[in-house]
């Protein structure tokens, strides 16, 4: 069994503190939902666990089966069994999806994978995810649609067989059918290999398909509330304001002009 | 290590022999055509420094005789139009470590050929080129004897509107088993108006050999490197 343990994690970006003391323990066989308003640090948390160079850990610790994750390079973290399906997967030109997968698999083996075994595994995974088979031979994520990129993240997860799987808004960009396919594949992998999951999402729909064993609310760089799947329903129905009211917190609102226009529009509708 | 140092300013055709345990500095000033031949004597070691400036054509022959072991530093200071033909012969067990510095705002055309004619000869090349203008470089290694070894590492940075063409060929001829030829080429473009082309080539006529090439162009995007690393590829591989 694997354990990912995060203690008192403080993270800054360009000297601005984003995470202000996160404690979280995730074990194999657990599904943790992380929710929270935009810009409050969910992606920051997952990126810091994976080791994105922009995010500086200023305090606290992350361990994986008692190994010091913070001392590891990004690629080592991947090889010990951490996986992050990203909110915005990168496009990398010049390397095909299948060559990339082969190198990534070989990076964690002594003997390079046999061609037959590789092709079988790649084709099997592509089929499971009902992806277009030509995506294997295209450059990594280049020109992929939003949904194709997200499925491709899951494809990589299937092939790399990590212990702890973190998914950052994997559901955004997926159509309803794709959402169901991805959820089914994830659950199958969860049943089969007893992985631990950390899922960041804004929507109840995904958590209806994959019932979390734990739910956490991340506001202003802290986990302010933790409970079970029922908390997802409450957020879906009531939003986050009640939490901040109950706990007397200030929610960090992203000051984007776009979002304030959206807010106005909503208010107008309510006023009618 | 206290070495003696000798310096020659050369403007006309010349044959130079480098002395043992000495740093030999040749300041070549090209005007029209200059033919220079340098000999590294059997079983000697030392440092050879060549500074080049001027306009025209330089034909340089470097003869590394059996058992010689030299560090070779080349600095190109020409800001005009220069054609360089460099031919290097490596005899039995000769070893040459070359460092090429090209910082050019002129138009440069360079051809470098290493002939590995003696068994167990070794050449190790590092080059750093910064181009503001135009540069082409054909570099090749001819493995003409058994157990010869070449490691070529070429790095370039392109600035402004430069044009850079690098062709690197490792050629292991038939019968020269136990030979190795490796090359790495990296080009970093600092502006997007730059044309840079790298042709890495391995021509292998023999089975029992080792060869590799790696080549990268363009600006490494840290987000892409992170993405590849996050899937377990070591940073070195993610960059290539
Ligand atoms: N590279 C960066 N440079 C500067 N600020 C950043 C950077 N990345 C994130 N931030 C800031 O850090 C804060 C937390 O961002 P983060 O991406 O973790 O939010 P999130 O909770 O994942 O939001 P969302 O739900 O919108 O994805 C935001 O205020 C964001 O603007
Ligand atoms: Mg996010």
What's the mean pLDDT in B176-181?
Answer: 88
Computed on alpha carbons and rounded to an integer, the radius of gyration of chain B in Å comes to 19
In this model, does residue A11 exceed pLDDT 60? yes
CB contact under 8 A, B229 and A84: no
Confidence of residue B174 (pLDDT cuts 50, 70, 90): confident
Chain B nearest-CA residue for A93? B224
What's the mean pLDDT in A75-82?
Answer: 97
Q: Is residue A39 part of a domain?
A: yes
State the pLDDT at residue A259. 30
Residue B93 to residue B64: CA distance in whole angstroms: 10
Q: Is residue A154 part of a domain?
A: no
Q: Which DSSP string do the residues of B118-177 spell out, in sequence order?
A: STT-EEEEEEEEEESSEEEEEEEEEE-STT-EEEEEEEEEE-TT-EEEEEEEEEE-TT-T
Is ligand 1 within 6 A of the CB of residue A40?
yes
A134: DSSP letter: G
Residues of chain B contacting residue A108, judged by C-beta atoms under 8 Å apart: 232
What's the mean pLDDT in A141-156?
Answer: 94
Return all residues near A271 (Cβ < 8 A) that are at least 6 apart.
Answer: none
Hey, is the C-beta of A93 within 8 angstroms of any chain B C-beta? no
| B166 vs A254 pLDDT, higher one | B166
Is ligand 1 within 6 A of the CB of residue A93?
no
In this model, does residue A272 exceed pLDDT 50? no
In this model, does residue B2 exceed pLDDT 60? no
Beta strands B22-40; B45-64: pairing state: parallel
pLDDT tens readout for residues A97-114? 988 999 999 999 988 888
Among A53, A73, A160, select the one facing B231 at the smallest CB separation: A160
Residues of chain A contacting residue B231, judged by C-beta atoms under 8 Å apart: 75, 78, 100, 104, 156, 160
CB-count burial class (<10 Å; 0-12, 13-18, 19+) for B173 = middle
A270: DSSP letter: H
What's the mean pLDDT in A257-263?
Answer: 31
What's the mean pLDDT in A50-64?
Answer: 96
CB of B240 within 8 A of CB of B216? Answer: yes
Hey, is the C-beta of B228 within 8 angstroms of any chain A C-beta? yes
What mean pLDDT, rounded, does chain A reach? Answer: 89
Instruction: Please report, for the domain that includes residue A252, its CATH number.
Output: 3.40.50.300
Is ligand 1 within 6 A of the CB of residue A256?
no
Centre of ligand 2 to C-alpha A239, Å, is 17
Q: Is residue A167 part of a domain?
A: yes
Predicted complex: ipTM over 0.90: no
Helix (H, G, I), strand (E, B) or coil at B107: strand
Alpha helices, DSSP H, located in chain A? 42-50, 74-80, 97-106, 115-128, 146-160, 176-193, 204-209, 230-238, 241-247, 257-271
Confidence of residue B133 (pLDDT cuts 50, 70, 90): confident
What's the mean pLDDT in B210-230?
Answer: 77
In this model, does residue A256 exceed pLDDT 50? no
In this model, does residue B51 exceed pLDDT 60? yes
Cα separations (Å) of A145 from A53, A157, B41, B46? 27, 19, 64, 60
Chain A nearest-CA residue for B224? A90
What's the mean pLDDT in A80-98?
Answer: 90
Tokens encoding A230: 């029922």
Hey, is the C-beta of A152 within 8 angstroms of any chain B C-beta? no
Q: Is residue A157 part of a domain?
A: no
Centre of ligand 2 to C-alpha A135, Å, is 26
In this model, does residue A265 exceed pLDDT 60? no
Residues of chain A contacting residue B222, judged by C-beta atoms under 8 Å apart: 53
State the pLDDT at residue A270. 28
Q: Is residue A18 part of a domain?
A: yes
Ligand nearest, relative to CA of residue A254: 1
Residue A229 to residue A142: CA distance in whole angstroms: 36
In this model, does residue A209 exceed pLDDT 80? yes
Among B49-53, B86-90, B126-130, B209-213, the minimum mean pLDDT is found in B209-213
Is ligand 1 within 6 A of the CB of residue A217?
no
Instruction: Give the nearest ligand 1 atom to A36 CA.
Output: 21
Going by C-alpha positions, the residue among A32, A12, A9 that lies closest to residue A164 is: A32
CB of A152 within 8 A of CB of A126? Answer: no
State the pLDDT at residue B214. 67
Q: Is residue A102 part of a domain?
A: no
Q: pTM value?
A: 0.61
Residue A65 to residue B229: CA distance in whole angstroms: 21
A238/chain B closest Cα distance in angstroms: 36
Q: Is residue A100 part of a domain?
A: no
In this model, does residue B27 exceed pLDDT 70? yes
CB contact under 8 A, A103 and B233: yes
Q: Give the number of domains in chain A.
A: 1
Q: Is residue A116 part of a domain?
A: no
State the pLDDT at residue B220. 64
CB of A60 within 8 A of CB of A10? Answer: yes
Hey, is the C-beta of A73 within 8 angstroms of any chain B C-beta? yes
What's the mean pLDDT in B99-113?
Answer: 90
| Three-state SS sequence of B17-66 | EECCCEEEEEEEEEEEEEEEEEEECCCCEEEEEEEEEEEEEEEEEEEECC
CB of A141 within 8 A of CB of A89? Answer: yes
Q: Which residue CA neighbors atom 19 of ligand 1 most closely? A: A39
Residues of chain B contacting residue A52, judged by C-beta atoms under 8 Å apart: 226
Going by C-alpha positions, the residue among B5, B7, B11 that lies closest to residue B28 is: B11
Domain residues for A50? 3-90+162-271
Among A17, A44, A203, A219, residue to substitute to test ligand 1 (most atoms within 8 Å of Cβ):
A44
In this model, does residue B232 exceed pLDDT 70? yes
């Amino acid at each position: 069994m694997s354990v990912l343990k995060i203690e008192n994690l403080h993270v800054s970006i360009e000297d601005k503190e984003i995470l202000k003391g996160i404690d979280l323990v995730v074990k194999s066989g657990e599904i943790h939902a992380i929710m929270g308003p935009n810009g409050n640090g969910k992606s920051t948390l997952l990126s810091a666990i994976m080791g994105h160079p922009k995010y500086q850990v200023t305090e606290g610790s992350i361990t994986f089966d008692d190994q010091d994750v913070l001392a590891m390079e990004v690629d080592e973290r991947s090889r010990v069994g951490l996986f992050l399906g990203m909110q915005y997967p990168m496009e990398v030109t010049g390397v095909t999806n299948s060559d990339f997968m082969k190198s990534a698999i070989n990076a964690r083996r002594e003997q390079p994978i046999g061609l037959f075994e590789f092709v079988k595994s790649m084709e099997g995974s592509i089929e499971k995810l009902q992806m277009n088979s030509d995506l294997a031979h295209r450059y990594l994520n280049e020109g992929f649609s939003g949904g194709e990129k997200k499925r491709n993240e899951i494809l990589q997860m299937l092939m790399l067989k990590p212990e702890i799987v973190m998914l950052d808004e994997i559901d955004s960009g997926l159509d309803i059918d794709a959402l169901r396919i991805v959820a089914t594949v994830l659950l199958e992998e969860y049943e089969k290999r007893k992985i631990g999951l950390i899922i960041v999402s804004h929507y109840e729909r995904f958590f209806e398909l994959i019932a979390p064993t734990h739910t956490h609310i991340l506001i202003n760089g802290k986990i302010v509330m933790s409970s079970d799947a029922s908390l997802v329903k409450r957020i879906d129905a009531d939003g986050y304001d009640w939490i901040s009211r109950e706990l007397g917190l200030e929610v960090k609102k992203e000051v984007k002009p776009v979002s304030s226009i959206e807010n106005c529009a909503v208010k107008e509708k309510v006023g009618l | 290590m206290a070495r003696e140092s000798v310096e020659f300013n050369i403007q006309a055709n010349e044959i130079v022999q480098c002395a043992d345990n000495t740093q030999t500095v040749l300041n070549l000033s090209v005007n029209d055509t200059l033919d220079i031949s340098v000999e590294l004597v059997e079983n000697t070691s030392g440092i050879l420094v060549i500074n080049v400036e001027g306009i025209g054509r330089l034909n340089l022959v470097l003869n590394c005789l059996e058992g010689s072991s030299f560090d070779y530093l080349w600095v190109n200071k020409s800001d005009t139009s220069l054609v360089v033909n460099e031919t290097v012969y490596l005899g039995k067990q000769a070893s040459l470590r070359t460092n090429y510095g090209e910082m050019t705002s002129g138009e440069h055309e360079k051809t470098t050929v290493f002939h590995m004619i003696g068994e167990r000869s070794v050449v190790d090349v590092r080059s750093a080129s910064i181009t503001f203008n135009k540069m082409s470089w054909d570099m090749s290694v001819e493995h003409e004897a058994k157990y010869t070894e070449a490691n070529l590492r070429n790095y370039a940075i392109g600035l402004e509107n430069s044009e850079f063409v690098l062709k690197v060929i490792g050629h292991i001829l038939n019968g020269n088993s136990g030979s190795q030829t490796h090359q790495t080429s990296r080009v970093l473009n600092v502006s997007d108006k730059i044309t840079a082309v790298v042709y890495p080539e391995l021509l292998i006529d023999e089975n029992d050999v080792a060869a590799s090439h790696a080549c990268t162009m363009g600006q490494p995007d840290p987000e892409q490197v992170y993405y590849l690393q996050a899937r377990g590829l070591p940073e070195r591989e993610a960059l290539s």
